[in-house]
Chain A
Amino acid sequence: MVYSMKWQKKYKGLQRRKAISGYLFIMPFIIGFLTFMVKPFFQSLYMSFCKVEISSGGFHMLFDGLTNYIRAFTIDTEYNRLLTEDIGKMTYTALAIMVFSFFVAMILNQKFKGRAFVRAIFFLPVILSSGVILGIEYDNSLLASVQDAIQGSMGNSSITSIIQKILTTSGMASGALKKVFEIVDGVYDVAIASGIQIIIFLSGLQTISKNMYEAAEIEGCTGWESLWKITFPMISPLFLVNWVYTIVDFCMRSDNQVMEKISNTMIVDLNYGFASAMAWVYFGIVIAIIGISSLIISKGVYYYE
């Protein structure tokens, strides 16, 4: 009662009419959300605790406790391995994508001849890395093997492998360094996954006013210092956006092994309960990663104005 009084006080006359039209505007979303998101969301959560039986008349769900989860972690031979591999890969690729896209955005923000052309090329991956094309790109191992054969016959090897050899023999190649080499070797994957991130960083860089840099230069600030003291704080909110976007994008990629396994279990084996359980475990882990990392990042974010 008190609440409705308050509501009426706060929203009356024009305000109330506007609130109603606001609701009318977002109505499609509310309806879609309730029918196509909330219901399947809870249903698939429930399904993950069930044994789903499919007959010609419909489907029945028998409550089965944690069986599906236990099966995913202890009985299934692949799931644990795929999950850890995928999460690990996600972490370091996301980091590499962040660094790469920030670096490219910095360069593309400068003025030089042919900038429009270069920009056009860098955003091409937005098309090339989408949907099924990425999965096919991934399979295209023939070229790699042919190249390997040619290189092997000529006695050459790539620069990275030579450097790696030198560093390994000198005892400097630790685990972290190996990851770095892995990223360098897979720089194509990184470049192709960072189209949108470059655009977002670029949009942030363009909003920083030139006066700040000028003032800093007059005060005797070097370029390196103004990168850390001006550029980073000013676009730090975008690091958060990009980080979340990168992780979400990684989960939805078509060459994601865990997702492949889930959809195979569902479409080929028709084991809906087990598929939902695996999907929920994956989703839970990803949400936890996003939540924790954005909490950490948001502490360092600086909001101008």
Chain B
Amino acid sequence: MNKEAMQKKYMSYWQRNKKTQGYLLKKDIKNFSYRIIRFFLLFGMCFLILQPIFNKITISFMAEEDLYNAMVISVPEHFTTSNYMLAAKFMNYFKTLCNTFFVSFTIAILQIVVCTVVGYGFARFEFPFKRFWFACVMLVIVIPPQTISSSLHLHFRYFDMFGIMKLITGHTINLRGSALPYYMMSAGCMGLKNGLYIYMIRQFFRNIPKEMEEAAYVDGCSTLKTFIRIMLPDAKPILTSCFLFAFVWQWTDGFYSKMFLGNIKLLSIQLPQIGEQLNKYLTHTLNQATGASVGYTQCVISTGTLMVILPLLILYLFAQKGFVESLSSTGIKM
């Protein structure tokens, strides 16, 4: 573009502006300043969310003396990976990681399979007392598991299937510490946030047009076959997002894990114990008199936290669409 043409365009903008009695300029300035304000807002909020992670990353590479050096803020002076070694040692990382992966994966699969079946039942069939049972689902969402935890605790401590065990062997079995109760609860839709999954899946199936199902029935498809062959392939996005949520929440869950899966070494149980372990290690193994300082304990704990969420972050990077987009397309309503 040569100079003349540029000038022509420039002129014409002012002329156009004049023609609209200054409206065009006003609108452009408004838009531009709005965009700048929005940029700063978003930048600030993104920074707010990401900053603790960055902070953890830099701290995890610092040696102990760096923590108390006021000059060192974000770039470590004595670069070290010993924090990772220690955290991995205390958590027994690789074994625990495998355990956690196995438990979260199997439980998430089980929960989603059961919740899909139940959600489909609520969405596509008419049966007596449907509203009552759905109210029960809402109740499951609302009741904090802690309310009934004391009773569940005893329920599995002295577990008995309708009194059969006591008749045969004379005493009840202690299921606490084994993973079985939690798998049983998951199979009965009573796991972590399962009511929510039922609700979301039902919401999805309700939006599928009735004609699909009717056409299948007319062609001689059975109820179960319709569900598996016609409905399930459509529901893939919502199912993956529910699965991802179930997986992630199970991974970090402390409550159910502590209560039912105490004997299996899981990341969510090992993580809060790092501080204690560090103290023990320093006093017993290295024979230090004082134990770990507050700063150093926090440093190792935040390294451990990083190691726990790292697999989740990687998962999130690859499956970000699965988490978000499918949920926003379901149209949650009440």
Chain A interface residues (CB < 8 Å from chain B): 7, 11, 15, 18-26, 28-33, 35-37, 39-41, 43-44, 47, 52, 57-59, 104, 107, 110, 112, 118-128, 130-133, 135-137, 139-143, 146, 149-150, 153, 187-188, 191-192, 199-200, 202-204, 206-207, 237-238, 240-241, 244, 248, 251-252, 254, 259, 262-263, 266, 272, 275-276, 279-280, 282-283, 286-287, 290
Contact = CB atoms under 8 A, between A and B. Distances in A.
A248 B190 contact: no
Interface in B277-334: 294-295, 298-299, 301-302, 305, 308-309, 312-313, 316, 320, 323-324, 327-334
Given A44-B151, A276-B150, A29 B188 contact: yes
A278 B234 CA distance: 45
B144 A263 contact: no
Contact of B126 (A18, A206, A263, A282): A18
A7 B121 CA distance: 20
Contacts of A248: 141-142, 144
A272 B154 contact: yes
Contacts, number: 267
Interface in B212-232: 223-224, 227
Contacts of B114: 28-29
B327 A120 contact: no
14 contacts: A44-B150, A47-B150, A120-B324, A123-B320, A127-B313, A130-B249, A136-B272, A146-B295, A206-B329, A238-B333, A241-B332, A279-B147, A279-B150, A283-B147
B45 A191 contact: yes
Contacts of B125: 18-19, 21-22, 25
Given A120-B320, A263-B149, A132 B271 contact: yes
A39 B125 CA distance: 27
Contacts of B149: 44, 263, 266, 279
A241 B172 CA distance: 43
A29 B189 contact: yes
Counting chain A CB atoms within 10 Å of each CB, the highest count among B153, B154, B245 belongs to B154
A131 B136 contact: no
A20 to B, nearest CB: 8
Contacts of A122: 45-46, 49
A39 B70 contact: no
Nearest to A265: B150
Contact of B327 (A26, A37, A203): A203
B198 interface: yes
Nearest to A132: B254
Contact of B255 (A18, A139, A254): A254
Contacts of A127: 248, 252, 309, 312-313, 316
Question: Binding site of A, secondary structure by majority: helix, strand, loop or mixed?
Answer: helix
Contacts of A207: 331
Contacts of B48: 187-188, 191
A63 to B, nearest CB: 16
Contacts of B121: 22-26, 29
A73 to B, nearest CB: 18
Q: Which 3 A-B pairs have the closest CB atoms?
A: A32-B188, A25-B121, A22-B125
> Chain B: interface residue count, which band?
35 or more
A19 B272 contact: no
B324 A136 contact: no
Nearest to A120: B320
A102 to B, nearest CB: 14
Interface in B250-282: 251-255, 268, 271-272
Contacts of A287: 142
A122 B330 CA distance: 19
A149 B68 CA distance: 11
Contact of B41 (A21, A36, A107): A107
Nearest to B328: A203
B93 to A, nearest CB: 16
Contact of A22 (B126, B142, B331): B126
Nearest to A303: B333
B6 interface: no
B133 interface: yes
Nearest to A238: B332
Contacts of B143: 37, 41, 283
Contacts of B59: 143
Contacts of B309: 127-128, 133
B120 to A, nearest CB: 6
Given A238-B332, A276-B150, 6 more contacts: A39-B151, A126-B323, A150-B70, A199-B327, A202-B328, A286-B144
B331 A59 contact: no
B144 A136 contact: no
B324 A43 contact: no
Given A118-B46, A203-B332, A248-B144, A136 B133 contact: no
B147 A206 contact: no
Contact of B249 (A112, A131, A143): A131
Contacts of A259: 144, 146
B268 A262 contact: no
Interface in B106-134: 114, 117-118, 120-122, 124-128, 130, 133
A36 B190 CA distance: 7
A203 B330 CA distance: 7
A273 B69 CA distance: 50
